Structures are given as structure tokens and as C-alpha cells.
Amino acid sequence: MSELSPSRMSGTPLLEVRNVCKYFGNVIALKDISTTVNAGQVTCVLGDNGAGKSTLIKILSGVHQPDEGEYLVDGQPVRFTSPREALDRGIATVYQDLAMIPLMSVWRNFFLGSEPVKGWGPFKRFDVAQAKATVRKELLEMGIDIRDPDQPVGTLSGGERQSVAIARAVHFGARVLILDEPTSALGVKQAGVVLRYILQARDRGLGVVFITHNPHHAYPVGDRFLLLNRGRSLGDFAKDEITREELTRLMAGGAELEELSHELERGFGASAQEAARELKTEAEG
């Protein structure tokens, strides 16, 4: 377990957004979005395509600046002008493409751009032994047992590649870990692997922002849930304020699905009525 951050000891959120808005011309990407990210907790941001999840990620990671509202880190207002500024404050983002080179080894990818060196002056060189030892240690601390750090990262499963990216962010000092749809392209077993590593990061005292469109992945690991729909918030809930069924219903469209099921039942034949029953079941969670 890592040392407690000042935010965790004081109870101040690591990150907080208050009534954040973002516009692209006449397009409202985000409108009055508020939530918090606490140390040792997972905040899940849920929504379908076009809900505003990517725009929120880019604001948190310093790619975009909010047009209205406040963004606070450790209780202090900030206005990042680049991802490097956010990273310097310990806010690391792991995108879906993972920024890895498939033909390079696990340990080379782990230290890509931040290679440990030995020697001095013109005799400096990549400290391969230290890099391999560090990779093994960091991955084992996250509960990840890589067969061989020399193997190309492209030979790992999707869940294993995600776990390497998470461990890399933790090693380089992340206090907040933003995960962009880490389970979206994975099967059930591999998604479970990633969810376990999310909990490992949380238990080490990090604040985790888990972006997903799947409430069944979010609810088991989440401590807080922000639901987005077309750039607006459907609610920001602590876990004891919402059930899995309510979360699923809000994500599924609730009233919209129920209205559609009624239309299907009004005379489109047996197959349509069966589809209507399935939609009702989905809407009811």
C-alpha cells in the first residue's frame, strides 16, 4: 500500500469538477457536469457513444480546458494547458490504444520515453538489468505475473496489456488513474482481469476514473457513478444511493425503452412482441 496522499488524509477530493461546460461552436459537448474523485475510490463515468465521456476525459487530462465551471485538484482551482501539466500533478490517462508498440518487449514498453540509465556523460546507456527487475517487481505488486518481460507486448492478451499500462502509470507516480473504456474490447474473463487490477490500484490509494458504457462492469468496482447522456448529467450517485438495477435502467434508457416496447406490442406480430418483452426486461434491469 502506498503512503496516504495529503488529499486522502484531509478528506479533500483528489479531483473535482463543478458545473463544467464545454462547447465546440454551437455543439454542447458538456453542460453543468459535476463529480468528485477521491483517493482510494473508483469514480465510474457511464454513457453511450456521444454522451460526452471523451470530452470529460480530455478536460481531466489537460487536453481541453472547460469553457465554464471549475476544475479543482487537491481543492485548488487549476487550468491545465497540456497533458504534461496534468501528468506532473499525478493525473495519468490510459487510453484504449494504450500507447504501446506491439513488437517491442514488455520492459521496453514499460519504460518507453522514461528509460533508466547508468553511466555518465557520453557513456550513459540504457540500464537493461534495472529495467527488467523493476518491471517484474511493479507487475508482481499489482498481482500480475508476466511469463517473460522479454516477450513482445503484442503477444499478451488484451487484459494483460491493460494491466501493464496500469502498472506503468502507478510506477511513474500516478495519484489519479483515468481509464478510457479498458474493458470494451475484452471478453468476460479478460474484463474480469482488468477489473481486478482496477481494485488493486484503488487499494493502493489511487483515485480511479473508470470510463465505461457497461454498468455490469462498473457497479462491482465503483464507489461513485456519474451518468452522462448527450453531454448532460443524468445524476452523480454514491454507491449506497443507487442499485445495480437502477443504474442499468438509467443506462438502458428506461422510459424510452418502455415506450418502444409498447409500440412493438401494438400489432407488429409475435416476433415483435417477443422483442418488446426483451426490451421491457432490459428497461427493468
pLDDT, position 182: 86
Radius of gyration of the CA atoms of the chain, in A: 21
Query: pTM for this structure?
Result: 0.80
In whole angstroms, give the CA distance from residue 138 to residue 107.
11
pLDDT, position 261: 53
pLDDT, position 277: 59
pLDDT, position 2: 40
Residue with cell 472547460: 66
pLDDT, position 187: 80
Buried b (16+ CB within 10 A) or exposed e, 208-233: bbbbbbebebbbebbbbbbbbbebeb
The domains found in the chain, sorted by start residue, are 6-252 (3.40.50.300), 253-285 (no CATH)
pLDDT, position 268: 52
Q: Which helix (H) or strand (E) holds 209?
A: strand 207-212
Q: Is 86 helix (H, G, I), strand (E, B) or coil?
A: helix
pLDDT averaged per 10 residues in sequence order, the chain, 285 residues: 47 93 94 95 92 93 95 94 92 81 88 77 79 85 77 84 85 91 82 87 93 92 94 93 89 58 55 57 56
